Amino acid sequence: MDSKVLLLMCLPAVAFFVVFNYAPLPGIWIAFTNFNYRDGIFGSPFVGLQNFEFLIRSGQLWLLTRNTILYNLAFIVLGNILQISLAIMLNEIRMKYFKKVAQTLMFLPYFISVVLIGVIAFNLLNYDTGALNALIVQTGGDPIKIYSIAGAWPFIIVLVHLWQSTGYGSIVYFAAIMGIDKSLFEAAAIDGASAWQRIRYIILPSLKPTFIILLLFSLGGIMHGNFGLFWNLVGNNATLYQTTDIIETAVYRMVMSQNNFTTSTAVGLYQSIFGFTLVMLANWFVRRMNKDYALF
């Protein structure tokens, strides 16, 4: 079979990734050097694993890796459940303007920069002037020192993340539902299928490929934390680090006053190798279950 035209059609994208992603890859070498401008990436002195050493020395590698992964798992699992539910419910909405307005509103959080989210959260939650505590005091309760309670923050952070990403993320699922052959629904209605059966046997199966791809992409990034979100919500508040510190924030604090391009590359490499291993395993697993859904 002749694939020449199809190959040509892939060419622009392949060229794009070669130029912007593969070409700079050898530069990862910088993670093993004591980089200087004079000698460039490949001329600078080789220092082996020294740039990775600080992660181990800080004694926090395990805590940080654990926190990063747990947060991402929560984001993936809860995020997908909410996005799918929301997409299904949106599909039930029949009033055109209602739908448009609702969807537009759900997009809003995506546009609010995390800097502002941090500001708003502080305004709602702080002890002295926070709106939440004002409410508690008004109703006769004692104000809560939320910024000192480490246990509360996983919930707050997950909630904020879901608030910010659910509307945006549900678009993919909504579009997938829109792509379902309508005759399936009609046939189901004629067969007297219940609403639940319609969801269970038509909608959910058709979302499966999308879900799996989303999952594989999220797994690839499971070691990468959302720095902006965590930094703006928690910042320098060390009381909360036990439950809120992720790789990105910890590394930022360790090296932020130094112009350390080598350490950041080293940390990135650690995250990549970890994520890569995980994805290869997951893909292998998916492939065994259903070849069609595998990424590659």
Contacts (CB under 8 A) with another protein, residues 146-185: 147-148, 163, 166-168, 171-172, 174-176, 178-185
Cα 15 to Cα 187: distance, rounded to the nearest angstrom: 46
Please state the closest distance from residue 77 (CB atom) to another protein, in A: 18
Please state the closest distance from residue 179 (CB atom) to another protein, in A: 4
Contact 165, 106 (CB under 8 A): no
Could you tell me which stretch among 50-58, 73-81, 150-158 binds another protein (CB under 8 A)? 50-58
- Considering only residues 109 through 128, tell me which ones interact with another protein, judged by CB under 8 A: 109-113, 115-120, 122-123, 126-128
203: Cβ contacts below 8 Å, ≥ 6 apart: 88, 91, 177, 180
207 interacts with another protein by CB under 8 A: no
Please state the closest distance from residue 103 (CB atom) to another protein, in A: 7
DSSP state of 45: P
DSSP state of 258: S
Q: How far apart are the first and last CA of the chain?
A: 21
Cα 158 to Cα 90: distance, rounded to the nearest angstrom: 23
Please state the closest distance from residue 274 (CB atom) to another protein, in A: 10
Which residue number, 139 or 296, has a Cβ lying nearer to another protein?
296
Cα 249 to Cα 234: distance, rounded to the nearest angstrom: 9
Q: Which of 71, 153, 230, 241 binds another protein (CB under 8 A)?
A: 241
The residue type of 112 is I
60 interacts with another protein by CB under 8 A: yes
Question: Among positive and negative, which fits the CA dihedral 101, 105, 110, 113?
Answer: positive
- What is the C-alpha R_g of the chain? 24
For the chain, the residue count is: 296
Which residue number, 71 or 241, has a Cβ lying nearer to another protein?
241
265 interacts with another protein by CB under 8 A: yes
- Considering only residues 62 through 81, tell me which ones interact with another protein, judged by CB under 8 A: none
Q: Which of 98, 155, 284, 285 binds another protein (CB under 8 A)?
A: 98
Name the one residue in this structure whose structure tokens are 């999952």: 215
Q: How are the residues of the chain apportioned to helix, strand and coil, as percentages rounded to the nearest 5?
A: 80, 0, 20
**Phi, psi (degrees; rounded to nearest 5) at 212:** -65, -40
The residue type of 257 is S
Which residue number, 138 or 257, has a Cβ lying nearer to another protein?
257
Q: Which of 145, 155, 200, 284 binds another protein (CB under 8 A)?
A: 145
Please state the closest distance from residue 288 (CB atom) to another protein, in A: 16
204 interacts with another protein by CB under 8 A: no
290 interacts with another protein by CB under 8 A: no
Which residue number, 38 or 288, has a Cβ lying nearer to another protein?
38
270 interacts with another protein by CB under 8 A: no
- Considering only residues 3 through 42, tell me which ones interact with another protein, judged by CB under 8 A: 3, 5-7, 9-10, 12-14, 16-17, 19-28, 30-31, 34-39, 41
Q: Which of 48, 140, 236, 288 binds another protein (CB under 8 A)?
A: 236
- Measured at the CA of 179, the angle between CA 177 and CA 180, to 5 degrees, comes to 70
Contact 208, 180 (CB under 8 A): no
107 interacts with another protein by CB under 8 A: yes
DSSP state of 154: H
